[in-house]
């Protein structure tokens, strides 16, 4: 079985940003995304997802390295200063590289 390497971009941020970030992703050409509700704790305290205003989301995008770096740069410039957000890249092996 032949596997190809692509980049997985994982973004965890406050749920208030959901609509904006999805719009950004579309504009930046992300081939697709997966979104889930998340809970956790970090520099901005416990984010318990108990209700509308203090929830987190976890967003995953699989794409080429270059595109992933573009998205990360955009996120850093637009949101890092004022929002609870972390984001990381990792290499993943996928079966159908043409999809990503």
Partner 1 sequence: MGFDPIVLFFIFGLIAGLVKSELKLPPGLYDTLSILLLLAIGLHGGVELAAQASPALLGQTLAVLALGIALPLLAFPLLRALRFPRVDAASIAAHYGSVSAGTFAVVIAYLLARDIVFESYMPLFVAVLEVPAIIVGILLAKGIRRDTDWKALSHEVFLGKSIMLLLGGLIIGVLAGKEAIAPLSPLYTSMFKPVLAFFLLEMGLIASRHLGSLRTTGPRLVIFALVFPLIGAVTGALLGTALGLTVGGVTVLATLAASGSYIAVPAAMRLALPEANPALSLTASLGISFPFNILIGIPLYLSLAEWLAS
Q: Whole-number minimum distance, CB 1 to partner 1, in Å?
A: 41
Sites of contact with partner 1 (CB under 8 A): 14, 16-17, 20, 45, 48-54, 81-83
Tell me the torsion sign for CA atoms 72, 100, 27, 34: negative
- Considering the complex, state which of residue 46 and residue 73 has its C-beta at the smaller distance from partner 1: 46
- Per-residue DSSP letters for 76-89? HHHHTTTS-EEEEE
- Considering the complex, state which of residue 11 and residue 68 has its C-beta at the smaller distance from partner 1: 11
- Considering the complex, state which of residue 24 and residue 69 has its C-beta at the smaller distance from partner 1: 24
Task: Count CB-CB contacts under 10 A for residue 8.
Answer: 16
Q: Encoding tokens for residue 75? A: 């996120």
């Amino acid at each position: 079985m032949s596997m190809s390497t692509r980049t997985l971009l994982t973004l965890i941020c406050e749920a208030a940003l959901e609509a904006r970030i999805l719009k950004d992703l579309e504009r930046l050409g992300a081939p697709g995304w997966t979104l889930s509700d998340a809970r956790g704790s970090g520099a901005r305290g416990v984010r318990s997802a108990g209700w509308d205003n203090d929830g987190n989301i976890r967003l995953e995008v699989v794409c080429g390295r270059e595109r992933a770096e573009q998205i990360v740069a955009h996120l850093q410039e637009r949101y890092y200063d004022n929002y609870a957000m972390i984001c990381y890249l990792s290499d993943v092996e996928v079966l159908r590289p043409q999809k990503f």
